[in-house]
Copies of this chain bind each other. A is one copy, B any other.
Amino acid sequence: MHRTKVKVAEEALDANTTIANANREDFDREGVRVVNLMSAPGAGKTTLLEAALGGLDGVRAGVLEGDVQGSLDADRLSALHLPVVQLNTDGGFGGECHLDANMVRTALPDLPLGEIDLLIIENVGNLVCPAEFRVGEDAKAMVCSVTEGEDKPLKYPLMFRTCDLVVVNKIDLLPHLDYDLDKLLANVRSVNPHAEVIQTSARTGEGVEAFRHWLAHVADLEPAPA
């Protein structure tokens, strides 16, 4: 019985890869680079985007907001006058705890791909399953709040390992926490020696320019060879 279950999971992942590749072809055709942005709930993804996307000069950005339910984050980002599309996993997708390539594909007709250079896909807040599903992105980034403790790279290694960028957020709170930043950085390195790491406070603006710089670099990437 157990062997059968594993086989089903592998088939599901294969279908996801097929659809992720189809998404990627559409993005490439329109010259859109894509970031899959992940984190635990409440790490500050939306606040970071509010801080960063306004000043992203020369890059036309759009956002696909993934949530189980509601449109709170999409409503906030709409104030930036960017194309923002809400994708709810409880609307026909069983309330899933992550975005997959098929969900993203369902939202593509609502996105003005011809009018943007960079699409940020803000995933459902979760450190486990979002790391397992490619959606057609050029880069994966995650936000890790210093309020979550230094041990998260060791407890959720796949998420940290799969990301090109780890944003360590809420560093304005460091003076008020029992938190060893060097330990966190060593834990990140132990599971992913190659990840870029940026320290930010979305609230004070510290480090946000470095995140903008990273986004602009992704937006300038050449399409991957087919």
Contacts and interface: CB of A to CB of B under 8 A. Distances in A.
Contact of A126 (B97, B145, B170): B97
Interface in A151-188: 151-152, 154-158, 170, 173, 176-178
B42 A148 contact: yes
Given A40-B40, A127-B126, A176-B176, A94 B155 contact: no
A42 B170 CA distance: 14
- Sort chain A's interface into a size bin: 35 or more
A9 B94 contact: yes
B95 A158 contact: yes
A78 interface: no
A105 interface: no
B173 A147 contact: yes
Contacts of A100: none
A145 B9 contact: no
A128 interface: yes
B203 A41 contact: no
Contacts of A170: 147
B40 A155 contact: no
Contacts of A152: 41-42
A178 B154 contact: no
A8 B190 CA distance: 39
Interface stretch (A28-36, A64-72, A192-200, A205-213): A64-72
A155 B6 contact: no
A125 B42 contact: no
Given A42-B147, A147-B145, A173-B173, A97 B129 contact: yes
Interface of A: 2, 5-6, 9, 40-42, 67-70, 72, 92, 94-97, 124-129, 132, 145, 147-149, 151-152, 154-158, 170, 173, 176-178, 203
- 10 closest residue pairs by CB, A with B: A42-B148, A97-B128, A147-B147, A40-B41, A176-B176, A42-B149, A41-B127, A97-B129, A72-B151, A40-B40
